[in-house]
Amino acid sequence: MNNRNIIGVTLLVAALLAPSLAFADGEFEGPYAGFKVGNGSLKSNGSILSGPFNETANSALFGGIVGTRSNLGNGLIVGVEFDGNYYSEGSDWRYGGSAIAGLEMGNNGFLYGRVGYGKLNQPGEDLKGLILGGGYEHVLSDSMNIRFDYQNIGYTDFDFADNVVNNTGHEFTGALIFKF
């Protein structure tokens, strides 16, 4: 399944669930779990013995999410979240944890930012780095939300034999979140 199909399926599910918006209660606190699909890329550049190096690898990704949030009042929501992703290209895994903070937008929306730490398991040396990102989550029903999220992962440099390769990951995902 290519990335356009994955995004299309996510949007179709959102459209089918849209009628439930009238019954949404605007809750963004407590434990939750979900699944996500999207596109991930790893951009690598630097210098190697043969000269400058610049490569981008794109992949469909499939993953899971677990977390919990609290409402601090005045629409301020904070929480922690753990996620894991499987990249179809290269069979790599990326997992991490993030602190999330944001504001409720009306009764049904949540606009948030995140900061955390992630690790990409790949052949050779694993990459680790700072996660920065954000997104928007919308209530579909008392127990289900839909989310669109972006994460930028600034991995540490990969050093070998007087050469340095810089790596940056980007993930664009859509998710269904189930509240408990």
Backbone angles phi, psi at 88, to 5 degrees: -65, -30
Q: What is the pLDDT of residue 121?
A: 86
**Cα–Cα–Cα angle for 172, 173, 178, rounded to 5 degrees:** 155
SS3 state of residue 28: coil
Q: How far from 156 is each of 8, 132, 165, CA to CA, in Å?
A: 33, 14, 9
Q: What is d(CA 105, CA 109) in angstroms, rounded to the nearest whole number?
A: 5
Helices within the chain (DSSP H only): 3-17
CATH numbers and ranges of domains, the chain: 3-179 (2.40.160)
**Confidence at residue 100, expressed as pLDDT on a 0 to 100 scale:** 97
Q: What is the pLDDT of residue 53?
A: 76
In angstroms, the CA 77 to CA 34 distance is 18
Q: Half-sphere exposure (CA, 13 Å, Cβ side) for 149?
A: 34
Q: What is the pTM of this model?
A: 0.79
Q: What is the DSSP string of 41-64?
A: EEEEEEEETTEEEEEEEEEEEEEE
Quote the pLDDT of residue 107.
Answer: 83
pLDDT at 16 (0 to 100) = 47
pLDDT tens digits, 81-110: 999 999 888 778 899 999 999 999 988 999
Among candidates 22, 23, 21, 28, which has minimal Cα distance to 75? 28
Residues of the chain with pLDDT under 50: 14-26
pLDDT at 19: 43
